[in-house]
Amino acid sequence: MQVATGKSILPGIAIGPLKVYHKTEVVIVEASTSSPEKELERFEAARVKAQEQLGVLYEKALAEVGEDNAAIFEIHQMMLEDDDYLDAIKSIIETQATTAEYAVATTGENFATAFADMDDAYMQARAVDVKDISGRVVNILLGQTDGSLLGDEPVILVADDLTPSETVQMDKSKLLGFVTRKGSTNSHTAILARTMNIPALIGVEIDDSWDGKMGVIDGYNHCVYVDPTADLLATMRKKRNEDLQQEALLQGLKKKPNVTLDGHEINVYANIGSAADVGLVLENDAGGIGLFRSEFIYLDSKNYPTEEQQFTIYKRVVETMAGKKVIIRTLDIGADKQADYFNLEHEENPALGYRAIRICLTRRDIFKTQLRAILRASAYGKVSIMFPMIISLREVQDAKSVLAECQRELTAEGIPMGEVEIGIMIETPAAVMMADELAQEVEFFSLGTNDLTQYTLAIDRQNPHLDAFYDPHHPAVLRMIQQTVDAGHRHGCWVGICGELGADQALTETFLRMGLDELSVSPSSILPLRKRIRNLDLSK
């Protein structure tokens, strides 16, 4: 038996034959052409066909993994319209009098290398995307079609790397899981795997000799077993069956209250990134939406989304939630979340830079457009507004002033609104230290534990080399949370958590004893968290 370790995309067990996949490496040699004009025409025709293929992939992904995850193929289409990318290809064809496939392949490698060399983990992950679109155009130019990666029987796919296109094109009934040597937990392929609930490992030293052998992905222990012993195989099958039984049992918790054995109740809400996620919220019986990441509306758009576009999205979510609370976080863009049309300058320390409320308060036209849309949607249900990345009283007061201005405008225009609850993200040590003063300006706090941990420990959470030092259970982080809860309650604010830590069941009892009023987690974490809460007895 062989054991290889890596990073797990999500916990889970996959058992089945291993299939080692090698991409057909097409060697593109530089070849001269007597007609650069014809090569430019060939490239343009291939680019248009690639756009059409990506449109088909978008529709397939939309049906299988939802709007938010399908957006990667819209991004790929946008890449094929990027002036820098197109100019580089055309320049190589014209100046070197070479073929279109050579120009595309060379540009793809150059851009992928540039992304991979960046310090930002999110941008590093985009190297795979630019290789994906370049490979697609080259294949079209060479007259090659995409072959199936999978056979007739379900397998665990083993590969050097997988692109988003390859992942979404697979027949999910034939894919038990996948193992790759390359990849990032921030990559779109990893995001798709999580959404499709496919056990996957990345960063594994794979071996061609595995092909055809029995394999087991153990997502709990971050490893793959090749030719497992009979005893281990039996143990893994038992664990997989327990997982399936657990999923079935959790369904019985729907419509049950989030109450401990001794009667302590807490709200359990869901985090979402788009209107398409609301189905998962309802399916998993969340009490409300504790975090609507509105920045994804901007990230999925080619230009600043209009008030009407945003209003339509917010209204749909609010109406669908049918009176349950919907907390919309105002634009939290910057750092690892970039939209080209914002034209944000490169920063040496983007996590500490121009982002979130700092952008909104200095570009008030963008801020007012969003606030007006949210206020209009508030007429259709229970809406709360949450300001991110707060460090001072002045920022809260300025944000509330802009909100009040929007309310006055809408009233003058005769546009209906509902009452909105105002809150802030507590994700900086400064906000924790100022919590008593801040609590007198708002009605709720929501702890963004991802950034709060990063800033408290002075650790870049995007840097994989610091994983061993990144400790969200650090006593300093927990004391920050307790201090925030105490300050909020002193002034009548309810306090919740919307960061990843909220779903950490090792801390659920700790959070309830701290007095937290709400935990907002991914939709898939709702029922497991409810089970944990209902099994606790805080009186002991």
Active site residue 406: no
Count helices and strands in the chain by DSSP H and E runs: 19, 16
Point out the catalytic residue in the list 76, 188, 222, 360: 188
For residues 199 and 10, is the Cβ–Cβ distance under 8 A? yes
**Torsion angle of the four alpha carbons 527, 530, 535, 539, in this order, in degrees rounded to the nearest 10:** 170
- Rounded to an integer, what distance in angstroms lies between the CA atom of residue 419 and that of residue 405? 15
**474 is known as an active-site residue:** no
Spatial separation of the C-alpha atoms in residues 213 and 192, rounded to whole Å: 26
Residue 143 belongs to what H/E stretch? none
Distance CA 129, CA 326 (A): 33
Measured from the Cβ of residue 227, the count of other Cβ atoms closer than 10 Å reads 15
**Would you give the DSSP letter of residue 220?**
T
| Whole-angstrom distance, CA of residue 89 vs CA of residue 83 | 10
* Per-residue b or e along 191-209, where b marks 16 or more CB atoms closer than 10 Å to that residue's CB: bbbbbbebbbbbbbebeee
Q: Which residue, among 292, 199, 352, 337, has the nearest Cα to 520 in the 3D structure?
A: 292
Nearby residues of 384 by Cβ (< 8 Å), 6 or more positions away: 325, 326, 327, 328, 420, 421, 422, 423, 443, 444
Query: Among residues 360, 406, 493, 498, which one is catalytic?
Result: 498
Residues 506-515 as b or e (16 or more Cβ within 10 Å = b): ebbbebbebe
- Return the exposure string of 35-60: e unless at least 16 CB atoms fall within 10 Å of the residue's CB, then b: ebeebbebbeebbeebbebbeebbee
Per-residue CA distances from 281 to 33, 254, 273, 285 (Å): 56, 12, 11, 6
The radius of gyration of the chain from alpha carbons, rounded to an integer in Å, stands at 25
Q: How many CB atoms lie within 10 A of CB 539?
A: 9
Q: Catalytic positions, please?
A: 188, 498
